[in-house]
Chains A and B, each alone.
Chain A
């Protein structure tokens, strides 16, 4: 999904997500060196302090003379040597992050990497990008950083009936029926990057037979891994419509099952989800519901799911309509034309603040910021949700939002959003 560039962007305090620092920290025993002007480094460093990760992060600040003279390239090996000498525990991986500037300087990363690999044989190096300037390209930072993280996996001999879940920084809740379902398909083990404590253990992911792509920014990663590590992949993006959930499971069954007769009954999970949906609808009654693209990956599809379940969806905050959910957006336009579709970064957003019903329920921080609702479900990027359990959790979150008033500033601070 490409970002909308046709308007000046209003950047609310609810804007952001994990950021590349926190995301790349998922690689066990890794360390990060940012090479950038200090203004760029400031918010990554503060974000890292907020998340307790600052001890795995250092900075090489560059100035005008380094940029103009090209001395920037020479500084990196010097800084790396100094850093590795200083660190008490040598990292297994050093991820060198460059910022937007680097895209315009034409830095020869490969030659720098060759020097570094020769000088420090026991450390793996990779260049990563914190360059939002590429947000409208096919390789923006959320995509690039995942490619680099999984690019550290080394080819493994032989494949195991294992599945990697990729793209989602937070592991899917163990309560999800996904795990039982995969087991029924004959999958012996399900891997997620967050479960590994050592870089060596992380390498197990290279031996998996399949990648399930839980979030779109990992599609290119999956393609890379197919080519380089011979790991086949299937999309399994979280969604909340029963029909879509079932269709995802159907695709997974076709792709992964080791035998034709798979015994796994999804119906009890579906029934339970329906029951929880009904309870949530009773709790919410006619309150207007607003949902945003930071809470769920497909806001139009999620809004449709809520509409079909009888909720009063009043607004959708989305920056653009991705091809994957165009069908759902068309449905919304045709059947629910009264729903407000708003771009949370549009220049007229500040003027809308304070114009929404006070009893609104906001799903997502952007929706909460603009509506000023105190009934907030602070979901971010479907974290932990999958399948019918994901639908149950969405409903529980909505019910909680009805029952408990929240201070959005505190919620955002506790979550630690980073642009």
Chain B
């Protein structure tokens, strides 16, 4: 349940969730209204959820905040505890506010899920080549075959996927995620859960996306090495002093694309620049952080890049468009439904065929 009036839920169903169209997912809006907000009438919402929960019998209940609950100080965790008491259904409350980027909300949700449903460390039995994929969100990977392809690339290389968060996850498999022996983090959203599982279950992680054949092969090697020595690894390519190619986007993905260009295609001089904040401390050298439209505007018009790879909406910020080769990399978290129908296929050998046929 998203605790809001309908506009915030509209963001989710209309713009953040490319799978929503054919979904039967039980995602609801609480229908928050002014008087209930002013009077702090939480009982009304608890009752509504209780009614729905008794009918629908879901695996769990999760109650999410929005800007108004933030201002009135709604106790989302308290409401979740009350719901759990009344319905007997495991419940979580997440104090999301609408004032942070999506990766924080996703990360908080993963960790809350882990705390609620993962078994105690002493009850976990790691098994062989099982891996989890963390951060496989539709906001980062869209709704084409990317998620299945990513899983396929790993399975092709001998790994069994215990759980992926969040594209194809089965609830019961996700609950048993700590039985994997290593986590593969494919976006910043998955990093928090990876750190949590490292601390609590001593499961190490590898960061990277199998974008291109070589990246997939390299990741497979890294996963096996990490299984053996329990050390974290990241897929990255050596830093270069000069850059003519700029890739803007989510850091784990664009770092992996940079690896593909450099190592598989021999294209050097790539600068990565992240929207929504980077993954500090993960890579040897930080990416550029773009904190505003103004930052993006300055960078794309700096005259340093002959090629820019970014979400299509960023193209309109480029002043001298004819002097820059622009390659579209739609990111659902940026351009949403405006561009998600032509999100490129990025995994394994599909990358060379579909995207970026440039040299």
Q: Which residues of A contact B (CB under 8 A)?
A: 3, 5-13, 15-16, 36-40, 42-43, 46, 49-50, 63-64, 67, 99-101, 103-105, 130-137, 347-348, 350-351, 353, 409, 413, 417-419
Contacts and interface: CB of A to CB of B under 8 A. Distances in A.
Given A9-B28, A43-B15, A103-B34, A63 B21 contact: no
Contacts of B126: none
Nearest to A101: B67
B282 interface: no
Given A13-B20, A39-B98, A100 B48 contact: no
B214 interface: no
Chain B residues touching A, range: 35 or more
Contact of A353 (B24, B98, B99): B24
Given A46-B336, A131-B5, A67 B34 contact: no
B14 A43 contact: yes
Contacts of A12: 13
A133 B24 contact: no
A9 B7 contact: no
A8 B49 contact: yes
B13 A49 contact: no
A351 B55 CA distance: 10
B313 interface: yes
B355 interface: no
Contact of A46 (B13, B20, B98, B338): B338
Given A104-B37, A137-B34, A419 B6 contact: yes
B68 A101 contact: yes
Nearest to B36: A5
Given A13-B13, A104-B38, A39 B99 contact: yes
Contact of A39 (B1, B11, B33, B55): B11
A99 B13 contact: no
A417 to B, nearest CB: 8
B123 interface: no
Given A8-B28, A133-B37, A105 B13 contact: no
B87 interface: no
B6 to A, nearest CB: 5
A55 to B, nearest CB: 10
Q: Which 8 A-B pairs have the closest CB atoms?
A: A419-B10, A39-B98, A132-B5, A347-B52, A8-B28, A9-B29, A133-B5, A350-B24
A135 B5 contact: yes
Contacts of B313: 49
Interface string B58-89: 00000000111011100000000000000000
Interface in B224-242: none
Nearest to A39: B98
